[in-house]
Each structure stands twice: as C-alpha cells, then as structure tokens.
Structure 1
Amino acid sequence: MNGLSIRELCGLFCCPPCPSRIAAKLAFLPPEPTYALLPDPDPSTGAATAPGSVSGATQPSLGAPGLRSRVGTERAEFQYSQRELDLTDVFLTRSSRGNMVGCMYIRCAPNARFTVLFSHGNAVDLGQMSSFYIGLGTRINCNIFSYDYSGYGVSTGKPSEKNLYADIDAAWHALRSRYGISPENIILYGQSIGTVPTVDLASRFECAAVVLHSPLTSGMRVAFPDTKKTYCFDAFPNIEKVSKIPSPVLIIHGTEDEVIDFSHGLALFERCPKAVEPLWVEGAGHNDIELYSQYLERLRRFINQDLAAQHA
C-alpha cells in the first residue's frame, strides 16, 4: 500500500496543475534580491574585469565586494574588512538553459585543500549567505564557492527543477575552469532544497565528498508524507539518485525538523552505499542545526579524518 487513497491518486494523475509544479511552487520562494552587481569602479586598471569582481572595490556591503546592498547597511550582519573584500570574487556565468547565474568565490583559507560548492536553502540569496560562508569556511579550513538559483539574487530566469540542475552545472564548470579546481578537491554541500541539485550533480560526477544538510527524499514525499514510491511525475527525486553517488556522503538532519521530516534523512542514509556516520542533531529543527556545537565538530572530522582515510 502506498499510503494514498484512490481519490488522492486520481486527483494527482488527472487534475492540473501537475504535482511537480505544485512541489516547485512549494519549494521555490526567492526573496527580494538583497544585493545588486556593481561594475569595477577603477577604470585605471585598463582591464575589462568581470562585473562584480573584487578589483577596485572600495566599500564593504551586505553580500560581497562588487555587490551593493539593496536593504541598507543597517541590515548587514557585520561590516566586512578589506581583507574579506579582497578574498571574494563575484561574477556571472551562463547556464546551458540560457540564464545568467550569479556566483561567489570566497578564499576563506588560501592554503586549503578543499573547496566547498555550496547550494543554499530556500528563501535566501548570496547577499544573505555570504557572512555565513566566511565564518564556515574559516572554521572548517575550506574555500567556499556558491551560486544563486535562477530567479534568485542577480540570477536571471525563473526557478524550476530543470533550471536548478542547469544552475549547479554552470557553477561546477565555472569553479573548475575559472579557478582550476579539480573534482577530487571539491566537496558538494547542499542544504534543504539545495540538496536537490547537489544529489543530481553528485550522481553524475565524482568529487571529493558530499554533504546533505536537512535533505528531502522527493517533492511528493514532502507534500504527502505517506508516499512510499516514486511516481513518474514526482519532483526532486533524491531518493532515486542518492544510490548512484560514488563519493563519500555525510548526511546531517535535525530530529525535530518541522519542514522536512527527520525520516527523509534516515531514508536517504539507508539508500546511500557510500554514506559515512551521519549526524542526527537531537532537538534541532530545519534552520538551527548550525547553532549546535556538534555541527562544526562533525564537519571537521568528516574533512580531516573520514576523507583523509578515503584518500590514504
């Protein structure tokens, strides 16, 4: 028994809009952009630098150098130092579906072995995440590369499942070609809806490792918790792709997650052949796992011990 009534199944199969569109509407909540790209303000360089590049940036702002806050400096979490500005690049790259994708690369640890390709959660953009990235990268001794989904921040187009996959592909290729980062030095990190493009990419390309933070099994299983199988129209089918990931996978989930139930993390762990010891954070919800001390402790151990053992 799949847990859905005959009436519910008939409604899902026969009544528009289709469930994948419903799931997409539930999943994508892009905020009003918190930043805008600035051109290089220093014409004396004589070089055509990318819009939003660090070169010539003169003032800290919410987001990153080359980004102007649209919400005012009083909303910034902290003022960036000149060093932080100098270590951050922002630029646009084009996806295979024709959208311009906003990207951010932060050299948090210049001598770091690994770079984290971070796919953020819902209802935020790079402007809101940048200070978290600086703190995270510094604490786990990794550089951070992130991007905004189509329709988020300065990225063009509209959010959709297909665009999500094209967006992370564009970010992956930009990280590799622009900065010369090899796959064996890239850790794919997805949070919440960001686990969808992360799992998809990780199932197609080998990398150093994968982190799935508050992951979902599929759109239908979020909307209809009793769903036990994957239908052809289901959106975001992580549960069908996670078994194809050839890299080590760390799954992190709060036991009191009110948005994506803890059972999703458990189900993915059981289906993932390369899963390492997971982190189940007792009492944590969907948006507060980072506040628990075991979060950073487990990430450090994953990078410094689990991955070291894998590459020994």
Structure 2
Amino acid sequence: MGSATSSMAAKFAFFPPDPPSYNIHVDEPTGKMRISDVHPREDVDVVKINTKKGNEIVALFVKNPSASLTVLYSHGNAADIGQMYHIFSELSVHLGVNLMGYDYSGYGQSSGKPSEQDTYADIEAAYKCLEETYGVKEEDVILYGQSVGSGPTLELATRLPHLRAVVLHSPILSGLRVMYPVKKTFWFDIYKNIDKIPLVNCPVLVIHGTEDDVVDVSHGKQLWELSKDKYEPLWLKGGNHCNLELYPEYLRHLRKFISAVEKLPRHRNPTEPSPLKTNDNKDDKARSSSGQRDKARWSTGQLREKSRRSTDNREKSSSRSSTYSREKSSRKLSEDRSGKARNSTDSDRARNSFDRLGDMVRSVGLCNVDCMKPAAFEA
C-alpha cells in the first residue's frame, strides 16, 4: 500500500519534457561538450556527473570571473537545462555570481527515472562537483530552488551547516499539500519542506506571486514564517507561477539579497542570527505587497507580522485559472529555441536592465513547476 501510494505521488510530481529540448555533442576543435541549438560560450561548461543512485546527470556551470558566490539552481518541473540555458547565463551576469544548473535523473539528457530520492542524489552530486571540480567552498554557495526544486534544495540545505544562503522561488510546503490543504504530514508525502525549513541555519529569501494558482502563496508565506533566519520576502502582487522573473522587483530584490549575504562572515557560527539588515529604501514598499514593507528584516526567528496569516487561505478566483490556462497554451517550444521577439502582456512594465532576461523567461514560459498538470510545451 505504502509503495503504491509513494509511486502514485511520484507520478503526479514529475513531468520531464518529452522529447528533451536539447542534445549534447562534442566540439571537435576544443573537445568540450556543448548543448545543441545554442551559441557556444567559453564561460559555460557542460558536464556529466555520476550520482550515488547510479545515474548520470547533465549540468551547466556558468562562470563569472568577478563572482565571489556560486548559485546552485534546482529548476522546476516540465523544464530542462536546454530551456534554462539562456536564463542561467543571464542570471550569472546580472547577479554577479557563478551558477550551476542541473537536470534531474530522467530529465533532459540525464539517465534514469525521476523520483524524490533521485533528486536528492542529483543535487548532492551537483554540489560535490562544485566542490571537487571547481573548488567552491560550502560557505560560498547559495542554493536556489524553484517550486518542485525547493524539495532537493531544502534537503541539501539541512545538511550544510555553513551554507551562505537559500532562495525559495514559488516553493511548496510538500507534494501532497499542493493538492490538498492537509494539516499534518503523512509518511507517504514527498518533499516535506514544511518539516525541513526550521532546520536550515542560513538566511532564507522567499519569492512568491500573490496570484499563483498552481502553488498558492500561502506555501511561501508559511515557509518564510517557519524559517530561523528570515530575510525580507518578496510577495509579487499579481504574479503567478510563470512570470515572476518579468517583474523588475525580482532582479532588484535578488541583487539586494546577494549583496547582503556577501557581507556575512564566511565562517559565521550557524547557530547565531545574521548580523546584517537590509537597507531601507522606497523600493521596499513596492516589493512587500502583503503589508510587511519596511519592517521585514533579518530576524532571529520571531514573526513580526502575525496579521499575514489571515491572508494565507484566501479564495482563488476562477478568472486566475482561465488567465493562466490561456497563458500556458499560447507558448510554443519552437519559439523557445528560436529566441526571436515575442508578444508580451508585460510590454508596458519597465524592466530596465532586465529586459533581455525577461524575454528569455517569457520564451520558455517558465511554467516549469506544475505539480498537478502535464507540461504545456508542444513537441
């Protein structure tokens, strides 16, 4: 019974793009592996990594010569690193970090089949590659988990006491809680993030859209409340599950967060709260749409705004779902690969220096973590 239930949960949770969006070939002049259908870049390494589960996963390492920190990015569902290639590259440039993104077992050109335990082995293998191949230290790593990717991110974060920071992008409380508002954790649930987040000792940034009709914003808010070392969260008013990167606040807030954690001591006692606070500025009001605004800062674990709890279980409007469905159905994988200009519902939003990245995000849809629905990409 238990095995059958866990297997069923896994089938609901994983939707690898079929077929994969990319192939791998060896560049004859250099002997380096390359991703197909993208312009080769000397600052991007394509590597294959063996996991303790016996699978071989594919990863990208984007190098930034001025970076002091490295982001290990766990992407969401229904996507692979071929679709995320340009986004990874642009984030590395705009945030001033090295960045490694990897495909889970069974995704892209990684071997095996996806499962909760395999994703844990996958992120562990990617992290070991950063340490052993690129010489990255634990205290210089930021783990970034997007939606389903928040599962392997928090699993690894609980085992790294000197980790620099964690970013949770549209995260889930658990797999079962995406589908049902259960109050207790069942043994057959997957990605029990709600039970792991209190064990993370480093600063945690949570980013979530207030109109997310795939993973409700209450997931992000509860994870933020349960974090030991809170950083000012980003509740993007009107943002859904697919478009948070299109908001100018997204990049500004990430930059601010990385700038703050860069100043933390590299060998800080993990049991002590972070000593830094974010700077007050006018942008805080726009970023903090749930009402915490200037008050949400580095915390020792005490919740300062209990009134936010009353908004967690608000009703979702049916218009959100129809808008989201139209948004997904309009995206084409063939457009993803072409990189040509696309129509944008956000064209009147000033994205400043983030315009290029916004276009790339839009081109792949980035609805790449959909725990309950099949991928909307077209072959």
Same fold (TM over 0.5): yes
Match of 1:41 in 2: 28
- Structure-to-structure mapping, 1:69-88, within 5 angstroms: 69=37, 80=39, 85-88=41-44
Give the partner amino acid of 1:22: M
Give the drift of 1:113.
0.5
Is residue 173 from structure 1 mapped to residue 128 from structure 2 by the alignment? yes
Task: Say if 1:126 and 1:146, in contact at 8 Å, map to a contact too.
Answer: yes
- CA distance in structure 1 between the partners assigned to 2:149 and 2:250 by the alignment: 18
- CA distance in structure 2 between the partners assigned to 1:292 and 1:242 by the alignment: 26
Is residue 285 from structure 1 mapped to residue 253 from structure 2 by the alignment? no
Q: CA RMSD in A?
A: 1.7
- Tell me which of the two structures has the higher relative contact order, counting C-alpha pairs closer than 8 angstroms and 6 or more residues apart: 2
Give the drift of 1:309.
4.8
- Structure-to-structure mapping, 1:150-189, within 5 angstroms: 150-189=105-144
- CA distance in structure 1 between the partners assigned to 2:262 and 2:238 by the alignment: 28
Give the drift of 1:39.
2.5
Task: Say if 1:218 and 1:236, in contact at 8 Å, map to a contact too.
Answer: yes
Deviation string for 1:17-52 (max 9, x for gaps)? 31x33332222100021112213413xxxxxxxxxx
Say which of 2, 8, 16 aligns to 1:30: 16
Task: Say if 1:190 and 1:196, in contact at 8 Å, map to a contact too.
Answer: yes
Match of 1:93 in 2: 49
Is residue 126 from structure 1 mapped to residue 81 from structure 2 by the alignment? yes
Task: Say if 1:209 and 1:307, in contact at 8 Å, map to a contact too.
Answer: no
Partner SS for 1:300:
helix
Task: Say if 2:50 and 2:125, in contact at 8 Å, map to a contact too.
Answer: yes
Give the partner amino acid of 2:213: E
Give the drift of 1:144.
0.9
Give the drift of 1:204.
0.7
Give the drift of 1:267.
0.9
Give the drift of 1:56.
4.8
TM-aligned CA distance change 1:22 to 1:154, over 3 Å: same
- CA distance in structure 1 between the partners assigned to 2:81 and 2:176 by the alignment: 28
Say which of 265, 279, 287 aligns to 2:220: 265
Say which of 42, 61, 66 aligns to 2:34: 66
- Structure-to-structure mapping, 1:94-109, within 5 angstroms: 94-107=50-63, 109=64
TM-aligned CA distance change 1:244 to 1:16, over 3 Å: closer
- CA distance in structure 1 between the partners assigned to 2:229 and 2:20 by the alignment: 37
Task: Say if 1:23 and 1:223, in contact at 8 Å, map to a contact too.
Answer: no
Unaligned residue ranges in structure 1 (runs of 5+): 1-13, 43-54, 58-64, 70-78
Match of 2:297 in 1: none
Match of 1:21 in 2: 7
Partner SS for 1:102:
strand
Is residue 253 from structure 1 mapped to residue 240 from structure 2 by the alignment? no
Deviation string for 1:46-67 (max 9, x for gaps)? xxxxxxxxx356xxxxxxx612
Deviation string for 1:257-295 (max 9, x for gaps)? 111011100111111111211111111000100000110
Match of 2:340 in 1: none
- CA distance in structure 2 between the partners assigned to 1:283 and 1:308 by the alignment: 32
Give the drift of 1:307.
4.3
Task: Say if 2:71 and 2:98, in contact at 8 Å, map to a contact too.
Answer: yes
TM-aligned CA distance change 1:310 to 1:291, over 3 Å: farther
Give the partner amino acid of 2:34: G
- CA distance in structure 2 between the partners assigned to 1:265 and 1:158 by the alignment: 28
Give the partner amino acid of 2:25: L
Give the drift of 1:305.
2.3
Partner SS for 2:222:
helix
- CA distance in structure 1 between the partners assigned to 2:132 and 2:259 by the alignment: 26
Partner SS for 2:235:
strand
Is residue 213 from structure 1 mapped to residue 163 from structure 2 by the alignment? no
- CA distance in structure 2 between the partners assigned to 1:306 and 1:255 by the alignment: 26
Match of 1:297 in 2: 252
TM-score with structure 2 setting the length: 0.67
Q: Which runs of 4+ in 1 moved over 3 A?
A: 14-17, 309-312
Give the partner amino acid of 1:23: A
Give the partner amino acid of 2:207: I
Task: Say if 1:121 and 1:193, in contact at 8 Å, map to a contact too.
Answer: yes
